Amino acid sequence: MKTTLKFASLLLLSLFVSCSSDDDSGEQTPSELDQIQGEWIRVGGNNPANNGMVINVNDNSGVVVTPAPAQPTGFTEGEVKWKEIVLQDGTHYRYEELGSNGSYYPASLRFGVDDTLRISVDAAPGDGYIQKWVR
């Protein structure tokens, strides 16, 4: 009888331990792209007709939510404007920028302490082009 009781107790204990969570903290590890997730509106740049465009960054890409009001023939809703975003250091990112000609160009993105994004397109025709985006 004692052996059966010990065996049953051991079985219950092993079931309890096997069903417990392996996650000690209960917290998720933050993504290296967390600080730039969400909606951004373009407020400045070399082509003022694109100001007012709204981009939503989700994971490692930014999709046009609202095209620029002054540029009705430019970018369209749902287009991937920024793709393959990767963190280079704490505030500097590299990615591919969709140009108005439909081609992607290498670009840099810096997240500022003032909660802005500063973008610089690296290759012609956008060489040196700077954009400013805010939340």
Write down the pLDDT at residue 28. Answer: 43
CB-CB contact of 18 with 25 (8 Å): no
Which CATH number does the domain housing residue 107 bear? 2.40.128.520
Q: Is residue 7 part of a domain?
A: no
Beta bridge partners, 130, equal: 120
Q: Is residue 2 part of a domain?
A: no
pLDDT above 70 covers a percentage of the chain that reads 73
DSSP state of 79: -
Write down the pLDDT at residue 43. Answer: 95
pLDDT tens figures, 30-72: 688 999 999 999 999 888 888 999 999 999 999 999 999 887 7
Residues 6+ apart with CB under 8 A from 127: 121
Domain containing residue 65: 34-134
Write down the pLDDT at residue 24. Answer: 46
> Distance between CA atoms of 82 and 40, rounded to whole angstroms?
12
Looking at every residue in the chain, the average pLDDT score rounds to 82
Q: Is residue 12 part of a domain?
A: no
Any idea which of 3-7, 36-40, 106-110, 117-121 has the lowest mean pLDDT? 3-7
Beta bridge partners, 129, equal: 121
Question: What total of structural domains would you count in the chain?
Answer: 1
Structure token digits, residue 40: 């951004």
Q: Is residue 47 part of a domain?
A: yes
